[in-house]
Amino acid sequence: MFSLEGKTAIITGGASGIGLAISQLFARQGAVVHILELNYELATMETASIIASGGKAFAHAVNITQQDKVKEVLELIGSQHLDILINNAGIAHIGNAETTSEQDFDRVMSVNVKGTYNCIHAAIPYMKKQGKGVILNMASVVASVGIPDRFVYSTTKGAILAMTLSVAKDYVKYGIRCNCISPARVHTPFVDGFLKNNYPGREKEMYEKLAASQPLGRMAEPDEIASLALYLCSDEAGFITGSDYPIDGGFIRINN
């Protein structure tokens, strides 16, 4: 079950955190993985590791906010075969509606929303031609539940959820499925860096506080998110489209 043999997968932000866990798992399951990253050096290092473990992976230096660059890379991949697109790349911001500057608003919207749109826009023609394809977007619990000081980040993830439903509706007749995942807090290098930069000397205390805010009493691990992504992109999930999957340790339903 859940084999991806013979499938080609594009994963944006696929060289770190959740994206890396997805890249590694998909490669283990037989997919040819294409990692799209702003940090090409990191992408090259991680693809080399995947190859050393027996997988097939390629690194591409791409700024997903630049549509022409996205189209160039997807033309290279899609002209051969494109089964799966995972829109994982994104950035965060701390602030409410008053403290979020116009510059920060535009920056986060450009990566999280426009970047996802650019990839979907470029991928769909190839999937339509094949008569099948899977698009999986990374949303968040903040698309459904308000949390403090995440104004623009929450705005982008709400847009991702709506985008998912729209794409699923428009392209179901072409055999293209589109879903999204909504994680709560996940223990990634980003979280560790955030704690180090904002709470020096209190990292352990703040980590435990954040973990305790999840009803299960801990953060998710990237591999747990990757396992859900694998299911939703596999043939076993062939009857699923237009759905949002919270993976949140009970955060939405139990805490709120």
Same domain, 23 and 111: yes
In a domain, 147, yes or no: yes
Same domain, 149 and 88: yes
Give the pLDDT confidence score for residue 253 in this predicted structure: 86
Same domain, 245 and 153: yes
Same domain, 191 and 85: no
In a domain, 124, yes or no: yes
Domain that holds residue 69: 8-184+222-255
**pTM score:** 0.95
Same domain, 70 and 127: yes
Q: How far is CA 186 from the centre of its chain?
A: 12
**pLDDT tier for residue 189 given thresholds of 50, 70 and 90:** confident
Same domain, 103 and 205: no
Same domain, 41 and 78: yes
In a domain, 161, yes or no: yes
The tally of domains found in the chain comes to 2
In a domain, 163, yes or no: yes
Give the pLDDT confidence score for residue 193 in this predicted structure: 85
- Per-residue pLDDT tens for 53-64? 999 999 999 999
In a domain, 123, yes or no: yes
Same domain, 99 and 192: no
Q: 188 near 18, Cβ under 8 Å?
A: yes
Give the pLDDT confidence score for residue 35 in this predicted structure: 98
Q: Is the pLDDT confidence value at 255 over 90?
A: no
Mean pLDDT computed over 109-138: 98
Give the pLDDT confidence score for residue 254 in this predicted structure: 83
Q: How far apart are CA 204 and CA 239, in angstroms?
A: 43
Mean pLDDT computed over 93-114: 97
In a domain, 73, yes or no: yes
In a domain, 3, yes or no: no
Same domain, 145 and 206: no
In a domain, 1, yes or no: no
Region of poorest pLDDT, from 63-67, 75-79, 115-119: 75-79
Give the residue numbers annotated as catalytic, written as ranges: 153
Token couple for 82:
């494109």
Same domain, 141 and 203: no
Mean pLDDT computed over 197-218: 90
Same domain, 94 and 174: yes
Q: Is the pLDDT confidence value at 256 over 80?
A: no
Same domain, 215 and 110: no
Q: What is the CATH number of the domain that holds 102?
A: 3.40.50.720
